[in-house]
Amino acid sequence: MTELPTGIADPGEVRPLRLPPGAPLFQRRAERLADLAPGNAAGDFLQLLARVCEVQARVTGELRLSPNGRDLPATRPLGLASPLPDWREALARLLAGLAAIPMPPAAREAVHALQRAGADEREALAGRVLRGELTTEDLAAATFAGAALQVVYTGLAAALPPGLPRAEDGGCPVCGAPPVAGVVLGDDKLRYLCCSLCAAEWNLPRLHCAVCRKQDHVGYLTLEGDTGPAKAEACRECRVYTKLLYVEKAPRLEVGADDLATLALDLLVAEEGYRRNGRNLLLATAA
C-alpha cells in the first residue's frame, strides 16, 4: 500500500476537507526535509528547516491546544483577522527550542532580534505574516514567526470537529490562508490544496484553475528532464500557477517539505511570467 501524506489509506475516498494530524505533521515534515537535503542545491537551508520543524513538533505536543471553551465562528473558525493569542506562547517556546540548534549567523541574529522584540513588535510582524505583507526587513525573522503561527493554527485545526463548510474564494476553509501547494493522489488524480498555515487540505476538482476556477485554461510546466514530483499548473486566463506534487512520483512526499525542495521549478515558471498562487511560510518573501 502506498503511504499517503496524512495517513489516509484510500486515495479514492473524496472528502471536501481533511484536517491535519498536529504534531506528527511537523515530525513528518522534519524527516522529509532531512531526507531531501543531501544533493539539493538548497541542502543547508533544508537541513536547518528540518530542525525548525522538529522544534515545531515538540512545541505543538507541549501546547496541546483545544477548541473547547473558545468562541470560534462556524465558518473559517481560525480566521486571519488577528493572530490567535496562543501564538505568543508558541513563539516563546519555539525561540527557546531554537537556541539549541546550529544555524548560520544571519538566522541566529534573527532569533535574537525576535527575543529582544517587544510584544507589540512581535504582534505586528505576525499580522504581516498572516496578511502576506512582509517587507524586506521582515524576512529573516518572518520564517520563525511563521513557524510559531503554524504551530498554533495546525495544533488547533487538528482538534477541530470535521465537516466545516467549503470556502468559495480559494483560501483555506479552516483559516482563510492561501495554499502552499496541491497534492495529487493516486491514478484517478484526486487533488487537495494544502493550507500554508494550518495544514488543512481541501479538495480541488481536476483541470480547474485553483484561483479563477475556470476549466480548460490550465497547462502544466515541469523542469526539463526532471523526474521529481512537482508540476506547475499554470492558468493562461489569470497568469497564476499552483504547484502540484504527485504522490505517484514520490510516495513519501510531504507538501510543505517537497515544495521547499523544488524551488527551481518556481524560478522557471516565474521566468514564463506566471505569479505563484500561495506561499510557504518557512520561505518568507517580501510582498
* Position 172 contacts Zn ion (CB under 5 A): yes
List the one residue from 50, 59, 190, 195 that touches Zn ion (CB under 5 A).
Answer: 195
* Position 198 contacts Zn ion (CB under 5 A): yes
- Identity of residue 198: C
List the one residue from 111, 235, 250, 261 that touches Zn ion (CB under 5 A).
Answer: 235
* Position 211 contacts Zn ion (CB under 5 A): yes
Site stretch for Zn ion (CB under 5 A), options 34-42, 115-123, 128-136, 211-219: 211-219
- Quote the least distance from Cβ 206 to Zn ion, whole Å: 14
- Residue 160 makes CB contacts below 8 A (sequence gap 6+) with 19, 67, 77, 174
Q: How far apart are CA 162 and CA 119, in angstroms?
A: 34
* Interface of this chain with Zn ion, residues 132 to 171, rule: CB under 5 A: none
Smaller CB distance to Zn ion: residue 27 or 154? 154
Neighbours of 123 (CB within 10 A): 16
Q: How far apart are CA 2 and CA 155, in angstroms?
A: 26
Neighbours of 79 (CB within 10 A): 16
* Position 175 contacts Zn ion (CB under 5 A): yes
- Quote the least distance from Cβ 199 to Zn ion, whole Å: 7
Q: How far apart are CA 14 and CA 204, in angstroms?
A: 10
Q: How far apart are CA 274 and CA 281, in angstroms?
A: 20
Smaller CB distance to Zn ion: residue 126 or 209? 209
Interface positions with Zn ion (CB under 5 A):
172, 174-175, 177, 195, 197-198, 200, 209, 211-212, 235, 237-238
